[in-house]
């Protein structure tokens, strides 16, 4: 294994790619039990305890060549000049056997203070990970299938891309399932995608959003519970987030007087999806969609940190949005 850089700054909206980068760094720490003792994770959105971070950064590795300290959402953590200076000074003085990873799940614009700090004196390895654009997604799917040791027909890659959008995590999960289905003996076909993939849940997600737009709490909860019975909550969760991200983009284009064809072309959508999201976006104002989207991101964070289950959080959100069960 080549020597890992002491400090890495990863930023962008492709959470799957950022997680894979971090996983690769941690893979060289030995077996699972040893590795776990040499990995410290912090979440800036949950508040940052400086002493705990200081201990993690300066501790010696245990039966491993290095330690890895991961700080997710560093911008939220370093939200005051005093905290920022204190923590960045700590990183500059870190033990040479400690690898520090700062992971910001948004694209940092040129000139951002964190980017400028990381760039100064070639202080850090900087990697930007952005979700593929819709037109790039089929090629990404084909590449990911190859990485996983299999293949997928071009038409099947297009179909899977149309159904999951630019959500690379969901696409990768679906490819794993599909490759197991074909037993890695042949490329995945369109028929395989239609038979096995979670993409059949897309229609139910459209129904869920329709019910929310109509403020029909009963129908929304019925649709949600039906989805939960048929699919794993975490598997379709990314599709829900993607749907509302699409609705925000569509609402913005509608507010600029764009039509369905312009929306389809601008967002790189399938004709049916473009028509559906345009119809749904008309039922919401942009501020309402943004509020829902931020709420979804909060739920995502709480679910991934074990503070709440997706099922309970989504039920509660439906009641909040429709005003009734």
Q: What is the pLDDT of residue 85?
A: 93
Residues 184-211 pLDDT 10s: 999 999 988 877 765 555 556 777 777 8
> What is the average pLDDT across 120-138?
88
CA angle, 16 then 27 then 234, to 5°: 35
Say which DSSP state 223 is in.
H
Q: Which residues fall within 8 angstroms of residue 219, CB to CB, at 6 or more apart?
A: 207, 211
The hierarchical CATH code for the domain 7-128 is 3.40.50.300
| CATH, domain 134-196, list 3.30.365.10, 1.10.8.60, 1.10.357.10, 3.40.50.150 | 1.10.8.60
Q: What is the pLDDT of residue 175?
A: 92
Residues 205-252 pLDDT 10s: 777 777 877 778 888 888 888 777 766 676 667 777 878 888 899 999
Residue 241 tokens read as 């987030």
> What integer best gives the mean pLDDT of the chain?
85
Asked whether the beta carbons of 10 and 127 are under 8 A apart, the reply is yes
Residues 147-188 pLDDT 10s: 999 999 999 998 888 777 777 888 898 899 899 999 999 999
Give the residue range(s) of CATH 1.10.8.60 domains in the chain: 134-196
The model's pTM: 0.62
Question: In angstroms, rounded to a whole number, what is the distance separating the alpha carbons of residues 82 and 65?
Answer: 33
| CATH, domain 200-322, list 1.20.272.10, 3.90.245.10, 3.40.50.720, 2.40.37.20 | 1.20.272.10
Give the residue range(s) of CATH 1.20.272.10 domains in the chain: 200-322
């Amino acid at each position: 294994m080549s020597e890992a850089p002491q400090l890495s700054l990863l930023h962008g909206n492709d959470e799957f790619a950022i997680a894979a980068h971090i996983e690769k760094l941690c893979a060289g720490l030995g077996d699972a039990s040893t590795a776990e003792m040499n990995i410290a994770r912090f979440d800036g959105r949950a508040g940052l305890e400086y002493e705990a971070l200081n201990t993690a950064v300066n501790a010696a590795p245990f039966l491993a060549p290095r330690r890895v300290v991961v700080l997710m959402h560093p911008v939220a953590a370093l939200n005051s000049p005093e905290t920022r200076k204190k923590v960045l000074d700590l990183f500059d003085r870190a033990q040479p056997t400690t690898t520090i990873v700062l992971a910001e799940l948004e694209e940092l614009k040129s000139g951002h203070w964190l980017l400028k700090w990381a760039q100064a004196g070639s202080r850090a390895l900087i990697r930007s990970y952005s979700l593929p654009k819709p037109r790039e997604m089929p090629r990404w799917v084909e590449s990911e299938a190859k990485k996983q040791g299999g293949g997928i027909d071009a038409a099947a890659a297009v179909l899977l891309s149309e159904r999951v959008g630019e959500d690379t995590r969901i696409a990768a999960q679906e490819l794993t399932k599909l490759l197991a289905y074909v037993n890695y003996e042949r490329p995945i076909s369109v028929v395989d995608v239609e038979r096995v993939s979670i993409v059949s849940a897309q229609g139910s997600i459209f129904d869920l959003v329709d019910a929310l737009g109509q403020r029909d709490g009963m129908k929304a909860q019925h649709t949600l519970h039906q989805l939960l019975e048929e699919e794993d909550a975490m598997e379709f969760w990314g599709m829900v987030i993607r749907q509302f991200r699409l609705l925000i983009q569509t609402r913005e284009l509608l507010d600029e007087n764009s039509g369905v064809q312009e929306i389809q072309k601008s967002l790189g959508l399938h004709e049916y999806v473009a028509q559906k999201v345009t119809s749904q976006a008309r039922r919401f104002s942009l501020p309402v969609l943004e509020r829902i989207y931020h709420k979804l991101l909060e739920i995502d964070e709480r679910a991934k940190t074990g503070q709440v289950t997706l099922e309970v959080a989504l039920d509660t959100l439906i009641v909040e949005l429709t005003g009734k069960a």
